[in-house]
Structure 1
Amino acid sequence: MALAHVASLRSEDPYRKVGAAALDFDNRVIGTAYNGLAPGVDAPVGFWDDREGRQKFMLHAEVNLCSLFRRGEAKLVASTTMPCTACMQTLCAYGIKEIYYRDVYQASDAPEIAELYGVKLERVADYPLSMAQL
């Protein structure tokens, strides 16, 4: 969770900073990501000022994270915010079996999706945690 938090600090979004981190089956970090524009895309002047207008262009931290590994390579994802419905669907498609988050996102169907797919979805308010606690 601490790595996800640090990743969130890289987001250019002045309103919402979300970070995520993935571990493989040997508990090695295989990626960190944050919400923002696609790599190599520079925001035009004034882009960050229009919160509503820019939302359709923003890539969520979990989507950016999944672009860093192949399906079945990651065991666990930690995110600073509960995945939205679409991100939860994406994480399930990538075969993630454990998802930890810090902040609740009320508009998400993640708990229901996690239940159907047999994914452990757990809120972690206190971190960092040792691997023995996970």
Structure 2
Amino acid sequence: MPPQQQQQQQQQQQQQQQQQHQHQQQHHQQKHQQQQQHQQQQQQQHHQQQQQQHQQQQQQQQQQHQQLQPQQQQQHHQQQQHHQQQHQQQQHQQQQHQQQQQQQLQQQQQLQPQQQQQQQQQQQHEVVCTSVCLLVNPS
């Protein structure tokens, strides 16, 4: 495997770990996910080189510049969402379970769920704002 692809895969896995650190609720799941990530490395390098790498090359070339942007955006959104997690813990937990399944099965699509989540999170933020506005202004 060319060293560039290895570096790109490592970057993706670092993004996973950073996201796990950002989600405090996932601390107990890190151990399980890290073990599975190591297994995924082996599978990607041995069994699924031809299938996944071709897809990864296309996605990574198109979205290499966007890899860092989603992280930064998510950090900003997550700071805003600290007060939302109290109201929307159930919804966030559901999304986290989906994230885990997607990460375990489809590493090459990690960047897409992040972007989708950003859109969902922004919509949720609007919903919470409306509910808070209703609380502040009953009329």
TM range (shorter): under 0.3
Q: Please, what TM-score do these two structures have when normalized by structure 2?
A: 0.26
Greater percentage in helix = 2
Greater percentage in strand = 1
Which structure is richer in relative contact order (CA contacts within 8 A, separation 6 or more)? 2
Q: Please, what TM-score do these two structures have when normalized by structure 1?
A: 0.27
Larger Rg: 2
